[in-house]
Amino acid sequence: MEKMIVAKTGNEAMAEAMRQINPDVVAAYPITPATEVVQLFSKFVADGRVDTEFVPVESEHSALSACVGAAAAGGRVMTSTASQGLALMHEVLFIAAGLRLPIVICEVNRSLSGPINIHCDHSDTMAARDSGWIQLYSEDSQEAYNNTIQAMKIAEKVFLPAMVTADAFIISHSLERLELIPDEEVQSFLGKHQKPYDLLDLDNPITLGGLDLQDYFFEHKRQEIEAMKDAKEAIIEVGKEFGKIFGTEYGFFEKYRMDDADIAIITLGSSAGTTKVVVDALRKQGKKAGLLKIRVFRPFANKELKKEIENLKAVAVLDRADGMSSFGGPVFHEVRSCMYESEKKPLTKNYIYGLGGRDIFPEDIETVYNDLYKDVEKGKIENLINYLGVRE
C-alpha cells in the first residue's frame, strides 16, 4: 500500500482522520486549541469532500447532546473539543457511555480553568476518566491520526464512546511528518458502521434513556463496566489488525528500551518523546533506563502493567494533572494501586509536571532518572510526591 507522506499538525492529522472516516454526523463547537479540527472539517463539508451532516452547535454541551441524538438514530458520529469544552460536555459524557453510543471525540489536552490557561495539561481528560469513555493518549501527530482511526473501530466493537487525546500546541500545532493511509483503506479497515440500536427504525420502536431506578440501574451499569473490560480485548485486536495492514502495531503501552531496564519512567502524551531522548542519552552512559508510555488509560491495563514493571528497581510516574487529593496524580494512583498485590514492587514515586503548558525539558527528566538511582541506592523513596519545574 502506498502511504502518502505529508507534513501536518496534530489538529490537521485528526481532521484528516475524520475526513477519511467520513462520519454521518459531526456536531462541534470551536475551542482553542482544537478549533482547527472543526474549522478544517467544515471546509471538507463545504467542498463536498465528505458526506457528513455538519451541525455547528451553540455550545459543547449541545455538541455532545446532538452527537448522542445522532448516534442513537444510527449514525457514525464524531466531534472534537478541548478543556472547558470537555468540561461542559461532562454531564453528557456519562449519558453517551450509559446509552452505549460509539461516538469518537478528538480531544486536545488543555488545562482546565481557573486560572484560565490555553496550554497543555491533562486535567481535562483526567477529569473525564471515570465517565465510561475509552481514552487513547497520543505522543505525536502520527499517533493522534492512527489512534483516531482505531478509536472508531474499537468504539463500534464494544459500543462505548472513545476519546483520542493530543497535547495542546505541543502536538495540536506542531508540524510533523505524517504517513497518511489512503482513504479507501481507512474505509475498508473500519468496515460497515456498527450501531447498538436504531431509533429511526419506526417498525420496531424503542424507548431510550428512560428512568432506571434501584431495580435495574445497577445491572445496566454492570454491563457497561463489562463492556469496558471487553474493550481491552478489542483494543489489542484492533491494534494488531492495524499493525498487520498499516505497519505499526498498537497495544496498551509502548515499551521503550524496557527489556533490560532497571529503572523507568511511566508517562503518557507528548512527554514520552522527550523522555525517549533522555533514555537514549542515559543508555550511552551505560545506565539501564527505560520508558513505559501508556497509550490506553481507559480501560486501564492493570495486570499487563504490573507484568511490565514488577522486575524494575524503581519507577517514576509522570502526571500532567494533579488529583487534588494531596496524594499525587491520577496515573500514579493507578500504577501504585495495581502493584499492591505484587510480591515484587519497584520503588514508586510521582512527579507532577507541565501544568498549564509549563515546558518539560530533557534536563528535568534526567533529574527524575537521577533521583530514582539515588532512591535505589538508599533502598527507599526520598519524596513520594514531587513537583517538577515549578517555582516553590
Partner 1 sequence: MASLKQLSAEKDLFASGHRACAGCGASVILRQVSLTAGKDTVFVGATGCMEVVSTIFPYTAWKIPFLHNAFENSAATASGVEATYRALKKRGEITKKVNIIAFGGDGGTYDIGFQSLSGAMERRHNMLYICYNNEAYMNTGIQRSSATPFGAHTTTSPAGTVIPGKQQFPKDLTEAIAAHDIPFVAQAAPHNWADLTRKVTKALSIDGPTFINILSPCPLGWAYPPNLTMKISKLAAETCFWPLYEVENGVHKINFKPKEKKPITEWMKLQGRFRHLLKEENAHIIELAQQEIDRKWNRLLRMVEAKI
44's CB contacts (< 8 A; 6+ apart) are 15, 18, 19, 50, 52
List 106's β-bridge partners, or say none: 80, 164
Task: Give the nearest distance from C-beta 31 to partner 1 in angstroms.
Answer: 16
Q: What's the one-letter identity of residue 127?
A: A
Q: In the complex, what is the shortest distance from the CB of residue 159 to partner 1, in angstroms, rounded to a whole number? A: 16
Residue 378 CB-half CA count within 13 A: 11
Give the other-Cβ count within 10 Å of 193's Cβ: 15
d(CA 116, CA 18): 29
Cell readout for 27 is 456536531
How many whole angstroms separate alpha carbon 56 and alpha carbon 50?
16
Between residues 70 and 136, which has the closer beta carbon with respect to partner 1? 70
Residue ranges that bind partner 1, judged by CB under 8 A:
24-25, 27, 51-53, 55-59, 61-63, 65-75, 77, 91-92, 95, 199-202, 205-213, 216
Considering the complex, state which of residue 200 and residue 324 has its C-beta at the smaller distance from partner 1: 200
CB nearer to partner 1: give 66 or 149. 66
Whole-number minimum distance, CB 76 to partner 1, in Å?
9
- CB-count exposure of residue 49 (10 Å: 0-12, 13-18, 19+): middle
Which DSSP state fits 181? Answer: P
The C-alpha cell that represents 60 in the structure block: 459543547
Q: Which is nearer to partner 1, 212 or 280 (CB)?
A: 212
CA-based nearest residue to 176, from 141, 144, 137:
141
In one letter, which amino acid is 327?
Answer: F
> In the complex, what is the shortest distance from the CB of residue 28 to partner 1, in angstroms, rounded to a whole number?
12
207 vs 326 by CB, closer to partner 1: 207
299 contacts 231 by C-beta, under 8 angstroms: yes
56-59: long-range pairs with CB below 8 Å, 24+: 56/27, 56/28, 56/29, 57/27, 57/28, 57/29, 58/29, 59/29, 59/88
- CA gap 243, 347 in Å, rounded: 34
Q: Cell 463492556, residue? A: 227
Smallest gap from residue 151 Cβ to partner 1 (A): 19
Cα dihedral 197, 203, 204, 209 sign = positive
Nearer to partner 1 by C-beta: 68 or 316?
68
Alpha helices in 247-290 (DSSP H): 271-284
75/299 with CB nearer partner 1: 75
- For the chain, how long is the longest CA-to-CA vector? 71
Min separation Cβ 209 and partner 1, Å = 4
Minimum CB separation of residue 55 from partner 1 in Å reads 5
CB closer to partner 1, 77 vs 268: 77
Closest CB 57 distance from partner 1, rounded Å: 6
Nearer to partner 1, 205 or 286 (CB): 205
For residue 102, the minimal CB distance to partner 1 (Å) is 13
Using the minimum distance from each CB to partner 1, give the nearer residue, 59 or 311.
59
- Tell me the closest approach of the beta carbon of residue 106 to partner 1, in angstroms: 18
Radius of gyration of the chain, Cα coordinates, nearest whole angstrom: 21
